[in-house]
A and B are shown apart, each in its own frame.
Chain A
């Protein structure tokens, strides 16, 4: 059942990505060239709604469907890793015009070529997995 819910939530997110046009290479370049508010509006309002929702869940001591208290773990803070990895990710984001969510949505939208990008991204993860201990974090 959990798997079905995961699939449905993913489908909802995928549909939103298309309707929001955030999976478009054109939108990504427009964003980095500061020529429209669209992407900043999408990301900014998503963060605002996410942050307010988290506060509400916390105040209500809300429980998930499984009955466990909702208490998402904070990500580990790695100053160098966050920054250097972030810069590398940003370069890839501007080149492909897509981050991971949109990559999957683009394949669904008919851009089969983005499967090549997904495979390449997997190789990138392998490269990170192999080099991990040698990289500054």
Chain B
């Protein structure tokens, strides 16, 4: 049991576990599963903008802020007490392709060549961390949801708009991974 918990989970364990978040949130809090609205609540909380989009009673949605703080804490606990292997179990083909594109360090969850404060002024880091984050926030709110709200909650409800959004996620993601990422990695 301990061994199972301390290892990385195969998709057929991890996926259903994520799917169960949908009924759990409904049963316990009567809330729809979703993460990206937390970004809007943070903006409203900090009064970062005067736009009407941020004029609402964010305190009524404070469960969502606690939920994402929980995500942070949960990951922290797992990293602290149940460490996984130092290498993510990606396929050999992906390793080969990434090596050919200039990635040399495969330890951890993200390549240290891009995702570290030491490289914050490099092109690859600025694009990946800052531009990438901006597009995640902008796109999720324009689309009306992210991977959890649209792909998992929305598709579970057989929502047509969510299907359109998820197609969009993959159109954008495929375009960047195939045609933009090689140029970003070439700058390393």
- List residues of chain A with CB under 8 Å of any chain B CB: 2-3, 5-30, 32-33, 35-51, 53-54, 56-57, 62, 64-66, 68, 70, 72-79, 81-101, 103-114, 116-130, 132, 135
B interface residues with partner A (beta carbon < 8 Å): 5, 8-12, 14-30, 32-33, 35-36, 38-40, 42-43, 48-49, 51-54, 62-64, 66-79, 82, 84, 88-91, 93-94, 97-98, 106, 109-111, 114-117, 120, 127-162, 164-178, 180-181, 184
Q: Interface centre among B33, B93, B154, B164, by most A CB within 10 Å?
A: B164
Closest to B24 in A: A9
The answer to whether A54 and B168 touch (CB under 8 A), given A117-B133, A120-B134, A122-B43, is no
Name B48's contact: one of A50, A106, A126 (CB within 8 Å): A126
Dominant SS at the B interface?
helix
- A117 to chain B: which residues have CB within 8 Å? 129-130, 132-133, 136
The interface residues of chain A lying within 8 Å CB-to-CB of B93 are: 33, 35
Extra pairs beyond A46-B19, A108-B73 (19, CB < 8 Å) = A3-B66, A9-B29, A10-B68, A13-B67, A16-B21, A17-B71, A21-B89, A22-B18, A33-B97, A47-B155, A49-B15, A81-B144, A85-B141, A89-B139, A89-B165, A94-B172, A96-B133, A123-B137, A124-B134
A45 in contact with B75 (CB, 8 Å): no
Q: Which residue of B lies closest to A105 (CB)?
A: B75
From the candidates B70, B75, B138, name the one contacting A9 in the complex (CB within 8 A).
Answer: B70
Contact B138 A19 (CB under 8 A): no
Q: Select which of A2, A39, A51, A116 is within 8 A of B155 by beta carbon.
A: A51
Q: Do the beta carbons of A42 and B15 come within 8 Å of each other? A: yes
Residues of A within 8 A of B127 (CB): 95
Nearest A-chain residue to B36, judged by Cβ: A100
| B169: chain A residues within 8 A (beta carbon) | 86-87, 89-90, 93
Q: Are A72 and B176 in contact (CB under 8 A)?
A: no
A selection of 11 A-B contacts at a CB cut-off of 8 Å is A6-B29, A14-B70, A49-B18, A51-B157, A73-B32, A77-B160, A82-B162, A89-B136, A104-B71, A106-B110, A122-B39
How far, in whole Å, are A92 and B131 apart by their CA atoms in the complex? 7
Asked if B30 contacts A32 (CB within 8 A), the reply is no
Interface SS majority for chain A = helix
The smallest beta-carbon distance between A39 and chain B, in angstroms, is: 8
Q: Determine whether the beta carbon of B155 is less than 8 Å from that of A10.
A: no
CA distance A8 to B69 in the complex (A): 10
A residues less than 8 Å from B27 (CB atoms): 57, 62, 64-65, 70
